[in-house]
């Protein structure tokens, strides 16, 4: 198990370095950062002064390692637009995004796994078709349209929940539903597929032939093996939620990391963009690593890969 964890750590570290290089290069290859910072009406002298002030006159390799060394120390510099340290902005916004992602993933998991199990047990019945219909609708429906629909119904017409903001837990209910419904279909379909495969296996038939209770067969023997790929998918979905929550955060006016990234992109605030991309990538890598470890604990056969 220790060898497996060490190998996964090496892979995670390699991916993190690659992401840092790619994100740094893409921003610097998109154009002259000094001109973007100074603005279109700035003079050549002002652009050159900004290039010197921000170290943009130094070789690209030096700029990268200087930025990377600061990132290791959680020092991402100062924001061009917000006039504050990047780490202060991220520390303020990150809890909102993490809360939204955790609530959305919890909601998706609570609905998707039981629904997938029931659909597999009731295969080819109206329950199975209803579950698949719900999954298809969730995959086909744009998240922003679903979010706006929730606002119209529950915030405007019924006035049960607030339409935006992040002052209390009520403000996270509608965004969590909108974001969770986006992740639920894939988890439900994967649970259903895994359960169908496991329920037709030899050891399940053996367990039933021994006279075990059907609930014991399903939840103790079948679900344990069927849920293994769902764990990995849940980690991936949470990573997508953290990185792709900008739409939901914009619709519901949540001051999270996604909204910060959008504001930084529209205002050419490159230090903030680089920091957000790197932090989301690191979270994604850590979640994938934890999913691999959990899967290896559930299925020892995975440790030899």
Q: For the segment 62-80, what is each residue's pLDDT rounded down to a tens digit?
A: 778 877 888 888 887 778 7
Q: On the CB side of 220, how many CA atoms lie within 13 Å of its CA?
A: 9
Using the predicted structure, report yes or no on whether residue 304 has a pLDDT greater than 60.
no
- Assign residue 31 a region (left: φ > 0; alpha: ψ between -120 and 50; beta: otherwise): left
The pLDDT value given to residue 222 = 72
The CA dihedral of 20, 22, 23, 26, to the nearest 10 degrees, is 150
- Judged by DSSP in three states, 56 sits in coil
Residue 303 has pLDDT above 60, yes or no: no
Which range, of 6-15, 24-33, 100-109, averages the lowest pLDDT? 24-33
Three-class SS of residue 78? strand
Q: Where are the alpha helices (DSSP H) in 122-253?
A: 126-140, 143-150, 173-199, 202-209, 214-216, 223-226, 228-244, 246-251
Per-residue pLDDT band at 271 (split at 50, 70, 90): confident
153 to 106, 158, 162: CA distances (angstroms):
23, 6, 11
pLDDT at 89 over 60: yes
CA dihedral 241→242→247→250, nearest 10 degrees, is: 140
> Tokens 């840092």 map to which residue?
20
* Domain ranges within the chain, ordered by starting residue: 95-288
Nearest residue to 79 via CA among 256, 223, 275: 275
Could you count the other beta carbons within 10 Å of the beta carbon of residue 108?
27
- Rounded Cα distance between 158 and 240, Å, is 31
pLDDT above 60: residue 259: yes
Residues 6+ apart with CB under 8 A from 96: 166, 249, 254, 255, 256, 257
Residue 246 has a pLDDT of: 75
Q: How confident is the model at residue 35 (pLDDT cuts 50, 70, 90)?
A: low
> Is 111:131 a contact under the CB 8 Å cutoff?
no
- Percent of the chain past pLDDT 70, that is, above it, reads 81
Q: How confident is the model at residue 187 (pLDDT cuts 50, 70, 90)?
A: confident
* CATH class assigned to 95-288: mainly alpha
Closest CA to 189 of 241, 238, 243, 237: 237
pLDDT given at position 32:
61
d(CA 140, CA 152): 20
pLDDT band at 241 (very low <50, low <70, confident <90, very high): confident
Q: Residue range 51-55: average pLDDT?
A: 69
Angle at 63 between CA 60 and CA 66, to 5 degrees: 150
Q: What pLDDT is attached to residue 37?
A: 64
Range of weakest confidence among 47-56, 157-166, 191-200: 47-56
């Amino acid at each position: 198990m220790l060898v497996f964890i060490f190998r996964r750590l090496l892979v995670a570290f390699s991916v993190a370095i690659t992401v840092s290089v790619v994100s740094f290069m893409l921003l610097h290859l998109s154009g002259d950062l000094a001109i973007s910072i100074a603005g279109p009406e700035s003079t050549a002298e002002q652009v050159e002064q900004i290039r010197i002030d921000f170290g943009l006159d130094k070789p690209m390799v030096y700029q990268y390692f200087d930025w990377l060394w600061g990132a290791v120390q959680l020092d991402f510099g100062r924001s061009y637009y917000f006039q504050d340290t990047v780490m202060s902005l991220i520390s303020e916004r990150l809890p909102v995004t993490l809360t939204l992602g955790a609530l959305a993933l919890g909601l998706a998991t609570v609905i998707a796994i039981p629904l997938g199990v029931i659909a597999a047990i009731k295969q080819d019945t109206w329950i199975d078709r209803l579950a698949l219909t719900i999954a298809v609708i969730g995959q086909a429906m744009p998240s922003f349209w679903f979010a706006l629909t929730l606002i119209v119904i529950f915030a405007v017409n019924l006035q049960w929940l607030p339409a935006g903001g992040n002052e209390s837990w009520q403000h996270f209910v509608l965004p969590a539903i909108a974001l969770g419904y986006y992740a639920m279909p894939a988890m439900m379909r994967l649970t259903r597929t895994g359960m169908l495969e496991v329920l037709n296996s030899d050891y399940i038939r053996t367990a039933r032939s021994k006279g075990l209770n059907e609930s014991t067969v399903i939840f103790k023997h079948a679900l344990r093996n069927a849920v293994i790929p769902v764990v990995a998918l849940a980690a991936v979905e949470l990573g997508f939620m953290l990185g792709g929550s900008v739409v939901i955060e914009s619709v519901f006016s949540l001051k999270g990391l996604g909204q910060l990234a959008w504001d930084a992109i529209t205002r050419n605030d490159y230090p903030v963009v680089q920091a957000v991309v790197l932090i989301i990538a690191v979270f994604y890598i850590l979640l994938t690593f934890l999913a691999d470890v959990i899967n290896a604990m559930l299925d020892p056969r995975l440790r030899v890969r």
